[in-house]
């Protein structure tokens, strides 16, 4: 799938992995719609990108919000052909402790944003892509979701996050199979430890220790590296139905 001159939607695009992906797609010539609940950051990013970029305030769990963002991207020259689902939240809590069980509302919120929200964006974006004329390779669009290595090696206190990202990983292949006949590809990236706002609250020495736990390179991943892989998935026709780990050979320990 050619990036230059096509419409791209980045849900959760105001910061972190999503912002880096929006920048990378824009630099390659895409017309980018950044959708996020963070209006200040999202609008600032779109303004910084300038021409071929706009911001749409959207809560990924709300169908009407995402539908509006999809419609804005579909109105771009070439139609909506690239959809990146990067919205996500985290919550740390064990299943049960002496003070009581894991909060149900907290678990539901993480699953609602990370899993249901990803599916919401995927279903609406892919439905819009059905209206596209196929390109020379027969493609109508590419959807890239964001999983996590926590889907495979969730740590202590990560049960909600791991469950949500496990769902994203698990739905990748059936989604790709559902849409294959229409020329729409679906993949997911499972990042390891990345230097994003989710880790920004940690002290610098703690972040450095996390980076040193990565076999090679012994550092936190850079959002630009995630964005580079996302763009490669778009451009590589044979990548479909895959969940690709981007983790420097890291396998997470229990804690």
User: What whole-number distance in Å separates Cα of residue 220 and Cα of residue 106?
Assistant: 27
Q: Which residue reads 């974006």 in tokens?
A: 125
Nearest 5°: phi and psi at 97?
-140, 180
How confident is the model at residue 108, as a pLDDT? Answer: 98
143 with 125: CB under 8 angstroms? yes
User: What whole-number distance in Å separates Cα of residue 67 and Cα of residue 118?
Assistant: 13
221 with 192: CB under 8 angstroms? yes
82 with 3: CB under 8 angstroms? yes
Nearest to 110 by CA among 154, 67, 66: 154
Residue range 7-196+222-246, CATH number: 3.40.50.720
How confident is the model at residue 209, as a pLDDT? Answer: 86
Does residue 73 have a pLDDT over 90? yes
Domain ranges of the chain: 7-196+222-246
Tokens for 152, please give them: 């495979």
Q: Rounded to two decimals, what is the model's pTM?
A: 0.96
Work out the average pLDDT over 138-158.
97
How confident is the model at residue 203, as a pLDDT? Answer: 78
Residues acting as catalytic residues: 161
H-assigned helices in the chain:
16-27, 39-49, 63-74, 104-111, 117-129, 150-153, 159-180, 197-200, 204-212, 223-235
Give pLDDT tens digits for 191-229: 999 998 877 767 788 788 889 999 999 999 999 999 999
Tokens for 183, please give them: 């020329």
User: What whole-number distance in Å separates Cα of residue 160 and Cα of residue 188?
Assistant: 19
């Amino acid at each position: 799938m050619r990036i230059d001159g096509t419409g791209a939607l980045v849900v959760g695009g105001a910061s972190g992995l999503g912002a880096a992906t929006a920048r990378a797609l824009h630099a390659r010539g895409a017309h980018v719609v950044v959708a996020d609940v963070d209006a200040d950051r999202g609008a600032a990013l779109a303004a910084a990108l300038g021409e071929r970029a706009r911001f749409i305030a959207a809560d990924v769990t709300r169908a009407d919000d995402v539908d509006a963002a999809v419609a804005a991207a579909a109105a771009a020259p070439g139609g909506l052909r690239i959809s990146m689902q990067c919205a996500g939240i985290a919550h740390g809590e064990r299943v049960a402790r002496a003070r009581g069980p894991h909060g149900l509302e907290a678990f539901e919120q993480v699953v609602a944003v990370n899993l249901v929200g990803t599916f919401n964006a995927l279903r609406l974006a892919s439905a819009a892509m059905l209206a596209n004329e196929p390109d020379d390779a027969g493609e109508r669009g590419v959807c890239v979701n964001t999983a996590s290595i926590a889907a495979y090696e969730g740590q202590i206190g990560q049960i909600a996050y791991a469950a949500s990202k496990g769902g994203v990983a698990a739905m990748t292949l059936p989604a790709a199979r559902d849409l294959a006949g229409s020329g729409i590809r679906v993949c997911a990236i499972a990042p390891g430890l990345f230097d994003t706002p989710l880790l920004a609250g940690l002290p610098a020495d703690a972040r450095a220790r996390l980076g040193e736990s990565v076999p090679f390179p012994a550092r936190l991943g850079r959002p630009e590296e995630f964005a580079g892989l996302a763009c490669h998935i778009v451009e590589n026709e044979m990548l479909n139905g895959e969940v690709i780990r981007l983790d420097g050979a890291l396998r997470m320990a229990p804690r």
